[in-house]
Structure 1
Amino acid sequence: MNETDVEYFEEFYLLSLNYPWAADLINPHVKELGPELNEWLDTEYPFLSLEIREKYKQGNYHIATARMVPFTPSYAHISACSRFMIWVSIVDDYVGMCTAEEVEELRKRFIDILEGSNPLPDAADLDHVLAKLRDEYLAVSSPEVLKLFTYFLDRYIEYGLKAEAPFRTSQTFPKLEHYKLIREYCIGMYAYEPWAELSLGYVLPEVIEKHPVILRIRALTARIIGWQNDFYSIKKEIKKKGEVMNLVLILMHEQNIPLEQAIEQARMIHDNDVAEFVALQNNLPDFGEWSERTTKVVEYLSLMISGLNTWYLKDTLRYNSNHGLAEAAFVRKE
């Protein structure tokens, strides 16, 4: 990235994405979530410096949660979602320069906790918070929701964070088609998707959950959120030396094209996924007595997409800075 590109970017860039779903819904508990999240940052994440914790507070992650999950039966439901939002955001930053082996160590610990193990008193802060999250999910939902969440979190780490680690640590661009597969998982959206079931109070039967249409809708949800993040983080990442995991930057590198052309190609990839999601949403199979409830789950997934988009555009400062966050707190074992 040369200086001309950076200057052009500052002049050109005012990108917004659009969706055919409600865009300005927000959970009525949003004002309560802010002070609670700030308290968590101050008391549950002492391994983060005061400066880094303040940056997370400025990110307004509680508003992202409230926009993605506008409807919940109680405050406890949205609070549990908010706890996951900040936890996974910190995890995602924390592993920024971890090797695949180091990520695997985290994966084993996290899944053990979600499957019932309790961290020792001297365990990492992230482990203790995850145990609280597990208990809160169980308190407001069911073992079935926790099982679905555990399955998706495992895949997020295994096929997302571990898969991207070699590219990040070597600062090497993946091939475009490889990146598309990795991005579906490393964005972490699969682990957010059970918020629909947590809010609605049921899990779809396995025969529906494994239906190709539902699997594809889940994949498209993750992909669209991934492209969304790549668009809105490009302002920060375009100036960050060594960033290799961004759709726009990969298009520029692989095809040797200018920024404007890469942005338009990335937008086309995004828009094609949105069009496919809408087509599937409008033509769901007949699932018998579960049809209405399946339609509701898909609707809640669509609201996560449009709600997060609104957060990017209105509510956060996270993507206006290229300064690191939790990755600065990672200490490699000697």
Structure 2
Amino acid sequence: MIAPTAMYSTTIPNSKPSEFILPGLFSDCHYPLRLNPHCYPVSRASEQWLLNGASLAEPKITKFMGLHAGELTAACYPDADAFHLRVCSDFMNWLFNMDDWLDEFDVDGTWGMRDCCISAFRDPINFQTEKLAAKMCKSYFSRFTQTGGPGCTERFIHTMDLFFIAVVKQADDRAKGHIRDLESYITVRRDTSGCKPCFALIEYAAQIDLPDEVMSHPVIMAMEEATNDVVTWSNDIFSYNVEQSRRDGMHNMIEVLMDEQGLDLQSAVDYIGQLCKDSVQHFEDNRTILPSWGEELDRQVAIYIDGLQNWIIATLHWSFDSNRYFGKDGHAVKRNRTVKLLPKRPLH
């Protein structure tokens, strides 16, 4: 883990804060934002697929339509053709909904969902299930396997398993009211983020299949980790307001820092901002020491690294374009960086 360089005060003010200021995440991140030309038709078709497959009802339909996961997907995979973009978009819509569903699951329910979905990935054609979420896995993954290489396919399934296992730990923490220390939180969060299977989709979307000797290289792994950390830790900042209003902030680095280090809200946000800045620097430092595997593999590695970079910049911009974190105020918040705290929901 990269230790932040700045020092922060740990005095907790007597009065509760009413707002906090976002760190200047864009000032540290100058990557170009690109949008796939197939974005809008694919996004709309994928949304319809999710609505049909998940049987959502209001108010969840309206909430889902404000997510704009298709636009995020189109910025993460800007060079994919329409077929591959659609599979990625279906997965992303499914993953966001799965994330919301699992918030309401206990440990046993999460294990059950994991068994069902992993079985669907292992044999998307023949596996039979009545679970809507797993039927949707069969739908997008049967299309994935038509062109996905063996290495990339295995990486996707393995990292999805890591996601479910980590979400089980999160459900257990939630049931016990347990807030993790920073180190163990980061370990679990790198898997609950769902970033790792999305990185396998970089290979899938580009129709490449990198060998294990490349994917297990420390420099590649460090760049993946730095990408995951920027995406995930900035997401903890963006999602905190909604989570604290639901009284559900335990699986969030802000809450972890306030609990473990006694930081006030703004100091915790600033601390995470520094960690994000350090992670972008870590990404760039590793880019300069990438080894060579020969001309053709180097070309494919460059595509993969470009895909990681797309993930960093796409999620930063999308977080303000989506209604998920800031409602209709995303563009104003992006401009003035002030987040006004929502009132906490009444206890039942």
Say whether 1:43 aligns with 2:52.
Answer: yes
| C-alpha separation in 1, matches of 2:15 and 2:92 | 36
| C-alpha separation in 1, matches of 2:68 and 2:255 | 26
Of the three residues 36, 47, 60, the one matched with 1:27 is: 36
The secondary structure found in structure 1 opposite 2:245 is coil
| C-alpha separation in 2, matches of 1:320 and 1:6 | 18
Q: How does 1:271-310 map to 2 (within 5 A)?
A: 271-289=277-295, 290-310=297-317
> Over residues 251-283 of structure 1, what are the superposed CA-to-partner deviations in whole Å (9 max), with x where a residue is unaligned?
112222211111111111222122111110122
Q: What's the counterpart of residue 66 of structure 2?
A: 58
Letter in 2 for 1:44: G
Q: What's the counterpart of residue 127 of structure 1?
A: 134
Q: How does 1:121-200 map to 2 (within 5 A)?
A: 123-158=130-165, 160-200=166-206
Asked if the contact 2:254/2:265 (under 8 Å) is kept, the reply is yes
Identical aligned pairs, as a percentage?
21
Letter in 2 for 1:234: Y
| C-alpha separation in 1, matches of 2:171 and 2:284 | 33
Is the alpha carbon distance of 1:44 and 1:278 closer, same or farther for their aligned partners in structure 2, counting shifts above 3 Å? same
Is the alpha carbon distance of 1:280 and 1:250 closer, same or farther for their aligned partners in structure 2, counting shifts above 3 Å? same
Q: What's the counterpart of residue 101 of structure 2?
A: 94
| C-alpha separation in 1, matches of 2:71 and 2:156 | 21
Return the offset for 1:310: 1.0
Q: What's the counterpart of residue 249 of structure 1?
A: 255
Letter in 2 for 1:38: E
Asked if the contact 2:76/2:314 (under 8 Å) is kept, the reply is yes
Alignment RMSD: 2.2
Letter in 2 for 1:113: A
Return the offset for 1:235: 2.3
Is the alpha carbon distance of 1:242 and 1:75 closer, same or farther for their aligned partners in structure 2, counting shifts above 3 Å? closer
Normalising by the residue count of structure 1, what TM-score does the alignment of the two structures yield?
0.87
> Over residues 162-216 of structure 1, what are the superposed CA-to-partner deviations in whole Å (9 max), with x where a residue is unaligned?
2222222233211111111111111010010012101221111111111122222
| C-alpha separation in 2, matches of 1:134 and 1:34 | 18
| C-alpha separation in 2, matches of 1:92 and 1:75 | 25
Moved over 4 A (4+): 1-4
The secondary structure found in structure 2 opposite 1:193 is helix
Normalising by the residue count of structure 2, what TM-score does the alignment of the two structures yield?
0.84
Of the three residues 176, 201, 206, the one matched with 2:207 is: 201
Q: What's the counterpart of residue 268 of structure 2?
A: 262
The secondary structure found in structure 1 opposite 2:160 is helix
| C-alpha separation in 2, matches of 1:51 and 1:3 | 37
| C-alpha separation in 2, matches of 1:82 and 1:3 | 46
Is the alpha carbon distance of 1:242 and 1:138 closer, same or farther for their aligned partners in structure 2, counting shifts above 3 Å? closer
Asked if the contact 1:61/1:85 (under 8 Å) is kept, the reply is yes
Of the three residues 17, 30, 33, the one matched with 2:25 is: 17
Unaligned regions of 5+ residues in structure 1, if any? 324-334
Say whether 1:229 aligns with 2:240.
Answer: no
| C-alpha separation in 2, matches of 1:255 and 1:15 | 19
Return the offset for 1:98: 2.4
Say whether 1:240 aligns with 2:246.
Answer: yes
Asked if the contact 2:151/2:210 (under 8 Å) is kept, the reply is no
Letter in 2 for 1:309: L
- After TM superposition, the structure 1 stretch with the greater mean CA deviation from structure 2, 97-106 or 295-304, is 97-106
Return the offset for 1:89: 0.7
> What is the number of equivalent residue pairs in this alignment?
315
Letter in 2 for 1:142: G
Q: What's the counterpart of residue 71 of structure 1?
A: 79
The secondary structure found in structure 2 opposite 1:78 is helix
Of the three residues 76, 88, 91, the one matched with 1:81 is: 88
Is the alpha carbon distance of 1:231 and 1:212 closer, same or farther for their aligned partners in structure 2, counting shifts above 3 Å? same
Asked if the contact 1:168/1:243 (under 8 Å) is kept, the reply is no
